[in-house]
Structure 1
Amino acid sequence: MVLLTVFTLLLLPHTVCSTHFTKCTISDSLSVLHEYYQLGDLIIGGIASHTVYLSEMASFKNHPNKALINQPVVLTKSYQHVLALAFAVNEINENSQILPNVSLGLRIHDTNFNVQQTFHATMKFLASRKENLPNYKCDIQDYLIGVIGELHPTTSFHMATLLHIYKVPQITYGSVPVIHGEFPGLSFYQMVPNEDHQYEGIAELLLHFKWTWIGIIAVDNNNGERFVQAMLSLFPHKGICLAFMQKILQIMYFDDFFKIGEKMWEMFDIVMESKANTLIFYGEIETFTTIMWMERLSEVGYTTVKPKGKVWIMTTQMDFVSFYYQRNWNMQLIHGALSFTVHTNELQGFEQFLQSRSPFFASEDGFITDFWEQAFLCHFSVMKKLFDEKCTGEESLESLPGSVFETSMTGHSYSIYNAAYAMAHALHTMTSSRSKHRAMVYEEKEKLKNWLPWQLHHFLQSISFNNSAGDKISFDHNGALEAGFDIVNWITFPNQSFLRVKVGKVNLQTPVKEFTINESTITWHIGFNQTLPISVCTDSCHPGYHKKRKEGAPFCCHDCIPCPEGKISNQKDMNDCFWCPEDRHPNEDQDFCTPKAVSFLAFEEPLGISLVTGALSCSLITALVLVEFMKYHDTPIVKANNRNLTYLLLLSLLLCPLCVLLFIGRPWILGCLFRQTAFGIIFSMAVSSVLAKSVTVVLAFMATKPGSKMRKWVGKRLASSIVLSCSLMQAGICAIWLATSPPFPDVDMHSVTEEILLECNEGSVTMFYCVLGYLGFLAIVSFTVAFFARKLPDSFNEAKFITFSMLIFCSVWLSFVPTYLSTKGKYMVAVEIFSILSSSFGLLGCIFFPKCYIIVLRPELNNREQLLRKKKLNTI
């Protein structure tokens, strides 16, 4: 039932309010089957599109049962709209503060879903009582002031094309029709908020639940097209994509239900096979029955696709309705649906008013008989027997399922109620502005004849009042209701009854946009097991992954790509991964940043203990060798090859491992400052001592030749000069290094992912490699000299041993460079320490272990006679 309500102004010769109901039955095609008429000083008229004749249906034209012909099929749910207007009129008449001394009446006609009937009924309100001719003034005249209606945008548009000629205000309680330039001047007052706010509210609801893969089902008319275009323009800005869009034929005649049924299974397959679990359904009140067709066709086997749980989001125009032939159809498909409704409050006395209706005590009500028969599936007259059971008239409205009739006020009825009050308050304001002092009742009514409909526009635009439920009623500058929407959760039961549960509200007209929803009170479809439904094109990317858009697919469709090394994502569906703070690093799953461990080569750890042990062992062995050599200070093997150089070399090898201790432990300023320079200078002394030994061997051999001039170079002065000059050169390099860019303690956050490296920054890498390069130069020169002197015929010739020691030394430090560059943190330090100890052991072992062997184990070889014998053999 779709209600068109028209306010008319009528001057009657009596002053007492009387009520009278009539029922018109006109046989022609433009007849109005039902009429609700209540007389008063002011008449409120209306049109209700809630019935259709079976004879208009192609499938019933040749039906053998003639009793069915001309029987109306009623949308029983909409009968409440008629009663809501009657209830409002009765309240207004009983309230002496609104229109004192003036009573309201009402007149409601039924258009039977017929455009011609809509025009016909509208014309009746523009004409006199008896003659259906506009501007005919020779009969009892109803002076039209305003119109309240209609739920269907199309019907509102047809009404407005006539009413606009007379500038009659029209209040709709449904969507404003889309007007394409043909009648640009049509104006409406809406008892619902602007639809643009509803579109934004739907988008907010989708974003709240993170539903981004959405299906749309919309009625195929201008308003449905506007809705689809609005959603298509809004969705991309909100990150929402459209999975599919289906259009439903607009229901203008009863045959349309059967035309729709022929295509329902195709739509059912698309809806159920889609990955989109959230569907937005935009239509009109009777369009809801198409959902029931979808499930019905599945039940009777028109499709093999099984119904699945979906979240249906319905707009304010929709309501749960059914025709009598759908009474036993299943409604579980939309269990758990969410609906946007105009904010509604319970009205005191409304349910009692509904319960007082009876077909026996309201014979003037032209709607109630057909409503009663199809609501309770019974009949009053055998002549038009549509159901077997006879009506008693004592049936209870409370026993009806919600899809048939509700005793609690629906959103549409609440809008009608408020529309009636808005018109009454506008009339009250207009009469108050005409006369500050009330005249006699008769004189006041005489003045009503001089009022014109257009005069009410000004007062409607500025109307503002609180209704009996305490809700404020006012229009914005576009003529739309200034109010928000309730979000209602629908809980259905097998007997077609249901519960409306308010779970949230949205009001985007306030300065601070309001959107609230209580998820804990929502009942979802049983297919979701009471867990939050997911409606996305691609499953969520878990932490540790990020989204990458699929080529050629909507932007909501993506692949899940693991985060690159070093980055994390700690939430679902992140567009990109991000770096951890400097003091943290990604965990193994790359979904969390864990604190980095502070890393340095500590004395307490196994590696540090091993290296310290090696360093102390090397120094201890060197010290023992030095003590042994000092003990046998005067033996030939100690005196050979410059005893002082031997002691200097041993002292250097004693200090070399000890400088390793500067490399271990937490870096500190002095340690960083001197560890490389100490290592460089001490090793330079050791290598220069070896070089001096090698040169001494060569010069000593050359000086033994008769007439050789090299004899003057042999001596302690040359060896000391070599050691001193070579060491001072390295000391100079280190001094320049410390003066220009000295080493310092540093923190490296980036070289190792999981660690904060405490290290000594070398300051100038160039100077560091200059120190190593100079040390390598000395080692190569020493190796070269020793190599050529290795076969010289002299007792206790060290050149052979020096050659091996320098070979080891050079091998160690040549391999050190790439190894050092390829390691980080404490292992870099460990590599340098290992190189220092290895080269120290190499020098000590190759040069001194053979001599120690002779001193300790073969003392008989450490004497002058053996030396002379060897020299003689070498001469021969």
Structure 2
Amino acid sequence: MDGDFVIGGVFTFHYNIYTVIYQYTTKPESLKCTGSLIIPQLHFSRTMIFALEEINNSTELLPGIKLGYHIYDSCASVPVAVHVAFQLSNGHDPLFYKDDNCSQSGVVTAVVGESGSTPSISISRIIGSFLIPQVSHSASCACLSDKKQFPTFFRTIPSDQFQADALAKLVKHFGWTWIGAVRSDSDYGNYGMASFLAAAQREGICVEYSESFYWTDPQSKIQRVADVIRRSTAKVVVAFMDTTEMRLLLEELAREPIPLRQWIGSEGWITDPELMDFAFCAGAIGVALEQFLIPGLTYFLLDLSPTEVAASSVLTEFWEDAFNCTLTKEAGSHKRLCNGTENMKMLKNSYTELTITNLVYKAVYAIAHAIHNAVCQKTNVTTQCDKHFRLESKQVLSELKKVNFSRNGYPVSFDVNGDPVAFYELVNWQKSESGDIEVVSVGYYDASLPKGQEFRINGGINWLEDDTHVPVSVCSKSCSPGTRKVLQKGKPICCYDCIPCPEGEISNTTDSPNCVQCPREFWPNVERDACFPKPVEFLSFDEVLSVILAALSVTGACLAIITGVIFFCHRTTPVVRANNSELSFLLLFSLTLCFLCSLTFIGAPSEWSCMLRHTAFGITFVLCISCVLGKTLVVLMAFKATLPGSNVMKWFGPPQQRMTVVFLTFIQVLICTVWLVLSPPFPVKNLTTYKEKIILECALGSAVGFWAVLGYIGLLAVFCFVLAVLARKLPDNFNEAKLITFSMLIFCAVWITFIPAYVSSPGKFTVAVEIFAILASSFGLILCVFAPKCFIIIFQPEKNSKRHLMNKN
């Protein structure tokens, strides 16, 4: 149809090219399209015509201007698309203006189409050289957003970059990390899948396989792709394909029973009603383009008269196929002649099911608004348009970049890349009560919303075999808290093993890539998914071991007190008076302190208890050994004094004995004082002996001080032992040298074995060993020195006499 300004239209009415084998004897004919008519593409062309008639009848948009159109069939072929592009660029005006380099009077002002990305690329490269704008309704390849290569390209369909992001977020939302991918081997499929794979990688999704084919490929290649899908372990398949390739793939898969797969579809096929005959695809989910009702379009599509049909070769082909009749009787035709009774409103086929025609409708109106802004002037009263204005395509291109309007409540505008605002519906294939598959909207993806809010699912999704549970498609199951992921060698990052966290480390999230060390005073629980404070261990009073040691300590102290009471009651008897009774009472007092000082080692260490336990132990034991040493010296001196002319006892009487005990004890007090002043013991948390618990113990402060205290005790004990050995052959009834010898032997044995036991014992057992050594040596002293005397006093009083003691029976 001619007009004041002409708009071109390019659609894929057919998929095949009529090919002829030439012998190079005649001029080749123009390329022709053949095959079955594609009804959705017919919808597109009819919608373009409807929009143009609507605009021509409008009093607001381009008043007084008539828009014409030239619509071409590209049959999805690059050679044909190139031919169409040259026809659109050359124009149809037979006149040649000599004053110009090139005639532009009949050139289209803009082009609507093409449907596919690959033909659109070819057309844009040619007409773009002449600055002719192109507005596609269906070419979604992200590559067309490159304004350096395609400066005049616009579209009303969102770029596949947004679709790829939406599909990747959809897959991530349902936890699918192990998927298969198939695509059309075209610019739409290749660029779209490349964008999806990049987005999927950012989302942590792994692809088991990525296969492609084109509808013209041999059947063997399609069969190979189908076999890859059958053998795969991925339960989810993302198909970035056109309807034609998808139909061929599903037909091949339907030849043999296949494991159920969850299909994720691009807008290229997810809403195609012809594909919904494949029942094994029920539950498919994908992104679809937004639809809205165009008032009057349905009536226009169905309002076709035989006269109008006969004027168009495309409509004639559709009419004859739809009613199985022919408008012109041809020789050899078996179809009946159309008689005029055919009624479009009674027709039940795919023509009556509207597809995404609103995108063509938007494209036509966008071009019309651009022309309006270029040739019309708005006055105070009306809008005046100059239909004789010599409009150049570059002016339409400039105005097209700025269009911003709403039609039927839906906004239309383009960004700097010529793309619209991306909005997709999320749709799901669900079985109706009749058993047929229908497309149900379950959410949306709106790229204009803030990041993180673009994606929304309303729910109500049906999955494989009408299951309400989301299918699982992972290479490896999620690693629970307490474990970490270890990648399997030579496999994608989604394939991994779950390894328990090492000792002392935890992971508190699912699929943790590594474990973290607990703080020093914390330790993992059994599941190793949380850190808890380590239990603090010390020799407390509520432990069985502590109770036993405390009982022994109190028993020993009571035994020493009882012995003291017995000695005091019989203080005038020879057994008590022998060997200086004053030293005996002092020895019993020191033994009582030795037994009781072991109690300071039990309980939680504190700053004062740490200092007290070591110093009290050191001083009381020196006091004890000093008394034993004094008694030993008394025995030796007493026998030495019996020799004629000996005056020894005058130099070692009671005052000298007291001074000896005080002096020897004072040295230990001095050692302890220096130790406490310079580097005293202090409480410390031992975190090294056990990893899983804290040992609360007393640090020595100065190891030199500790071993000086022990060394001094040991030195006195050895000296006392030597003297006792020297006095062991003196008369038995008079002295206690043998008893002291045995007691010192036990004392030295205990403390010699104490040293390695103390160094090697862990934790609270170190304290227990020290208490045991104190009690053992104390019991050795009291039993060896005082038990025989108490036995004589209580059970053998006849021996407690001076006569018996002097052995003069």
* TM tier, smaller: 0.7 to 0.9
Q: Choose which of 264, 273, 276 in structure 2 pairs with 1:313.
A: 264
The CA deviation string for residues 616-655 of structure 1, in whole angstroms up to 9 with x for no partner, is 2221122111111222223333233332222222111212
Q: Match of 1:102, as an amino acid?
A: I
Structure 2 CA distance for aligned equivalents of residues 57 and 755 of structure 1? 89
Structure 2 CA distance for aligned equivalents of residues 788 and 435 of structure 1? 138
Structure 1 CA distance for aligned equivalents of residues 440 and 715 of structure 2? 93
CA contact (8 A) 1:151 1:175 kept: no
Structure 1 CA distance for aligned equivalents of residues 353 and 372 of structure 2? 30
Q: Match of 1:431, as an amino acid?
A: V
State the match for 1:284 in structure 2: 242
CA contact (8 A) 1:212 1:536 kept: yes
Q: Are 1:498 and 2:498 matched, yes or no? A: no
User: What are the residue-to-residue correspondences of 1:45-194 with 2, within 5 Å?
Assistant: 45-52=8-15, 72-93=35-56, 95-126=58-89, 142-173=106-137, 174-176=139-141, 178=143, 184=149, 187-194=152-159
Post-superposition shift, 1:435?
8.4
> How many pairs align?
787
- Specify whether residues 562 and 640 from structure 1 end up closer, same or farther in structure 2 by C-alpha distance, changes over 3 A only: farther
Structure 2 CA distance for aligned equivalents of residues 803 and 82 of structure 1? 124
Structure 2 CA distance for aligned equivalents of residues 340 and 357 of structure 1? 32
User: What are the residue-to-residue correspondences of 1:661-680 with 2, within 5 Å?
Assistant: 661-680=599-618
Post-superposition shift, 1:205?
4.1
Greater shift, 726-735 or 657-666, is seen at 657-666
Post-superposition shift, 1:562?
1.1
Q: What secondary structure does 2:560 align onto?
A: helix
State the match for 2:592 in structure 1: 654
CA contact (8 A) 2:166 2:445 kept: no
The CA deviation string for residues 285-315 of structure 1, in whole angstroms up to 9 with x for no partner, is 423224413421324xxxxxx32333x3333
Post-superposition shift, 1:676?
2.4
Greater shift, 228-237 or 426-435, is seen at 228-237
Q: Choose which of 357, 360, 365 in structure 2 pairs with 1:421.
A: 365
Structure 2 CA distance for aligned equivalents of residues 841 and 398 of structure 1? 116
Q: Choose which of 292, 307, 332 in structure 1 pairs with 2:280.
A: 332
Greater shift, 739-748 or 538-547, is seen at 739-748
Q: Match of 1:81, as an amino acid?
A: F
User: What are the residue-to-residue correspondences of 1:824-863 with 2, within 5 Å?
Assistant: 826-863=764-801
Post-superposition shift, 1:545?
0.8
Greater shift, 705-714 or 715-724, is seen at 705-714
Q: Choose which of 483, 486, 492 in structure 2 pairs with 1:548.
A: 486
CA contact (8 A) 2:9 2:114 kept: no
State the match for 2:29 in structure 1: none
Structure 2 CA distance for aligned equivalents of residues 506 and 833 of structure 1? 77
- Specify whether residues 112 and 829 from structure 1 end up closer, same or farther in structure 2 by C-alpha distance, changes over 3 A only: same
Structure 2 CA distance for aligned equivalents of residues 80 and 767 of structure 1? 102
User: What are the residue-to-residue correspondences of 1:22-61 with 2, within 5 Å?
Assistant: 42-52=5-15
CA contact (8 A) 1:77 1:321 kept: no
Structure 2 CA distance for aligned equivalents of residues 291 and 792 of structure 1? 116
CA contact (8 A) 2:443 2:458 kept: yes
Post-superposition shift, 1:734?
1.9
Structure 2 CA distance for aligned equivalents of residues 262 and 391 of structure 1? 47
CA contact (8 A) 2:132 2:152 kept: no
Q: What secondary structure does 1:280 align onto?
A: strand
Q: Choose which of 10, 30, 40 in structure 1 pairs with 2:3.
A: 10
CA contact (8 A) 1:279 1:313 kept: yes
The CA deviation string for residues 590-637 of structure 1, in whole angstroms up to 9 with x for no partner, is 123345555554444544444433322221122111111222223333
Over the aligned positions, Cα root-mean-square deviation in angstroms equals 4.4
Q: What secondary structure does 2:572 align onto?
A: coil
Q: Match of 1:283, as an amino acid?
A: M
State the match for 1:61 in structure 2: none
State the match for 1:866 in structure 2: 804
CA contact (8 A) 2:161 2:192 kept: no
The CA deviation string for residues 840-874 of structure 1, in whole angstroms up to 9 with x for no partner, is 333323332233333323333333333333x99xx
Structure 2: stretches of 5+ with no match in the other structure? 22-32
CA contact (8 A) 1:313 1:338 kept: yes
Post-superposition shift, 1:457?
1.2
CA contact (8 A) 2:17 2:75 kept: no
Q: Match of 1:188, as an amino acid?
A: F
- Specify whether residues 185 and 90 from structure 1 end up closer, same or farther in structure 2 by C-alpha distance, changes over 3 A only: closer
The CA deviation string for residues 815-847 of structure 1, in whole angstroms up to 9 with x for no partner, is 545555556665544443344333333332333
CA contact (8 A) 1:582 1:750 kept: no
CA contact (8 A) 2:63 2:383 kept: no
Q: Are 1:728 and 2:666 matched, yes or no? A: yes
The CA deviation string for residues 212-261 of structure 1, in whole angstroms up to 9 with x for no partner, is 4343323324554445555565655554443222122x23xxx54xx2x4
User: What are the residue-to-residue correspondences of 1:369-448 with 2, within 5 Å?
Assistant: 379-380=324-325, 407=353, 410=356, 413-432=357-376, 444-447=386-389
Structure 2 CA distance for aligned equivalents of residues 802 and 369 of structure 1? 134
Greater shift, 115-124 or 229-238, is seen at 229-238
CA contact (8 A) 1:315 1:341 kept: yes
State the match for 1:638 in structure 2: 576
Structure 2 CA distance for aligned equivalents of residues 799 and 399 of structure 1? 129
Q: What secondary structure does 1:445 align onto?
A: coil
Q: Choose which of 331, 346, 368 in structure 1 pairs with 2:292.
A: 346
Q: Are 1:468 and 2:408 matched, yes or no? A: yes
Post-superposition shift, 1:739?
1.7
Q: What secondary structure does 1:144 align onto?
A: coil
Identity %: 32
Q: What secondary structure does 2:124 align onto?
A: helix
Structure 2 CA distance for aligned equivalents of residues 397 and 838 of structure 1? 114
Q: Match of 2:183, as an amino acid?
A: A
Q: Choose which of 298, 308, 318 in structure 1 pairs with 2:256.
A: 298
The CA deviation string for residues 146-187 of structure 1, in whole angstroms up to 9 with x for no partner, is 112123121112222432343211122323485999x94664
Structure 2 CA distance for aligned equivalents of residues 595 and 122 of structure 1? 77
Q: What secondary structure does 2:787 align onto?
A: helix
User: What are the residue-to-residue correspondences of 1:427-576 with 2, within 5 Å?
Assistant: 427-432=371-376, 444-447=386-389, 450-470=390-410, 472-491=411-430, 497-507=437-447, 512=451, 514-518=453-457, 520-526=459-465, 529-576=467-514
Structure 1 CA distance for aligned equivalents of residues 804 and 355 of structure 2? 129
Q: What secondary structure does 2:510 align onto?
A: coil
Q: What secondary structure does 1:97 align onto?
A: coil
TM-score (norm 1): 0.77
CA contact (8 A) 1:816 1:835 kept: yes
Post-superposition shift, 1:476?
1.9
Post-superposition shift, 1:782?
3.7
- Specify whether residues 717 and 542 from structure 1 end up closer, same or farther in structure 2 by C-alpha distance, changes over 3 A only: same
Structure 1 CA distance for aligned equivalents of residues 644 and 605 of structure 2? 59
Q: What secondary structure does 1:47 align onto?
A: strand
Post-superposition shift, 1:397?
9.5
Q: Are 1:263 and 2:203 matched, yes or no? A: no
Q: What secondary structure does 1:298 align onto?
A: coil
Q: Are 1:243 and 2:208 matched, yes or no? A: yes
Post-superposition shift, 1:353?
4.1
Q: Are 1:220 and 2:185 matched, yes or no? A: yes
CA contact (8 A) 1:71 1:384 kept: no
CA contact (8 A) 1:115 1:155 kept: yes
- Specify whether residues 437 and 824 from structure 1 end up closer, same or farther in structure 2 by C-alpha distance, changes over 3 A only: farther
Structure 2 CA distance for aligned equivalents of residues 132 and 557 of structure 1? 70
CA contact (8 A) 1:211 1:240 kept: yes
Post-superposition shift, 1:769?
4.0
Structure 1: stretches of 5+ with no match in the other structure? 1-7, 12-41, 59-69, 300-305
Greater shift, 571-580 or 344-353, is seen at 344-353
Structure 2 CA distance for aligned equivalents of residues 679 and 567 of structure 1? 42
- Specify whether residues 119 and 626 from structure 1 end up closer, same or farther in structure 2 by C-alpha distance, changes over 3 A only: same
State the match for 2:309 in structure 1: 363
Q: Are 1:579 and 2:579 matched, yes or no? A: no
CA contact (8 A) 1:734 1:771 kept: yes
